[in-house]
């Protein structure tokens, strides 16, 4: 049972959590990270193929990789304030869905030039930033539910989600070896976008954390001048 089940102001309560909700969120977080890593590794693996296709030498490829890393870092830093504003649930939807869209655009971005491809892959840093959202979201969910059985396995759960990195890397290596001869590098990026799109859609079914709901309720009450009511939340 959620520790926020008694919070009430004029009949208001945050949406309540169940064990099923938290387990569902855990698996969504795991697969979201797996496929974010898949796309991240895929670009590094296929950049030489992209360079060969468009006639970019190794120096140009290195420049692209460098600026993509810089741009991705900027995007990752911007995610924190966005998640604090829109919520943890929408943070997962945006990061996973945005990374999927960028994977699709990567298939055609090179034809628009190195600058366009660099910009697309920089925004794809949304996927890399997804793990930060995962950590915040799961931490708040497990704290809010306060279930003894789940709390005993909290360390295992976090390590499971973190394990999405090697799993994603293995998936990228295996599928690249299988798909490259069949559908080429463009097809590989299109294929990589599909599971992330599925995860983004499923993430719409996630529940927002009670902590964020309470935070937004307090903010709303204060904006309405209801300071006393806000203190009761």
Give the pLDDT confidence of 82-133 residue by residue, as tens digits.
898 999 999 999 999 999 999 999 999 988 999 999 999 999 999 888 888 9
Residue 139, CA atoms < 13 Å, CB-side half-sphere:
6
Do 140 and 22 touch, CB atoms closer than 8 A? no
Structure pTM? 0.87
Please, are residues 109 and 120 in contact by the beta-carbon 8 Å criterion?
yes
For residue range 150-208, what is the model confidence (pLDDT) as tens digits?
Answer: 777 878 888 888 888 999 999 999 999 999 999 999 999 999 999 999 999 999 999 99
Write down all domains in the chain, each with its CATH number in brackets: 1-17+213-233 (no CATH), 21-206 (1.20.1250.20)
Alpha helices by DSSP H, listed for the chain, are: 19-54, 58-86, 88-109, 114-123, 125-145, 148-152, 154-162, 164-203, 210-223, 227-232
CB–CB of 74/228 below 8 Å? no
Q: What H or E segment, with its residue span, contains residue 18?
A: none
Alpha helix (H) residue ranges in 55-124: 58-86, 88-109, 114-123
């Amino acid at each position: 049972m959620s520790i926020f089940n008694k919070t009430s102001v004029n009949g208001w309560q945050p949406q309540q959590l169940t064990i099923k909700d938290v387990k569902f969120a855990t698996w969504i977080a795991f697969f979201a990270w797996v496929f974010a890593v898949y796309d991240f590794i895929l670009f590094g693996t296929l950049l030489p193929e992209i360079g060969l296709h468009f006639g970019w030498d190794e120096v140009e490829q290195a420049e692209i990789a460098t600026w993509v890393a810089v741009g991705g870092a900027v995007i990752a830093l911007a995610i924190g304030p966005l998640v604090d504003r829109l919520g943890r649930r929408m943070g997962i939807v945006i990061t996973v869905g945005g990374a999927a869209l960028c994977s699709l655009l990567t298939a055609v971005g090179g034809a628009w030039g190195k600058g366009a491809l660099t910009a697309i892959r920089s925004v794809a840093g949304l996927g890399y930033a997804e793990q930060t959202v995962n950590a915040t979201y799961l931490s708040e969910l497990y704290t809010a539910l306060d279930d003894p059985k789940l709390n005993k396995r909290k360390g295992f759960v976090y390590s499971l989600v973190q394990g999405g990195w090697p799993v994603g890397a293995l998936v990228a290596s295996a599928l690249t070896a299988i798909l490259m001869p069949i559908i080429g590098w463009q097809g590989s990026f299109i294929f990589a976008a599909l599971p992330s799109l599925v995860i983004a859609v499923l993430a719409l079914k996630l529940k927002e954390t009670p902590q964020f709901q309470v935070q937004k309720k307090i903010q709303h009450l204060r904006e309405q001048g209801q300071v006393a009511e806000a203190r009761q939340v």
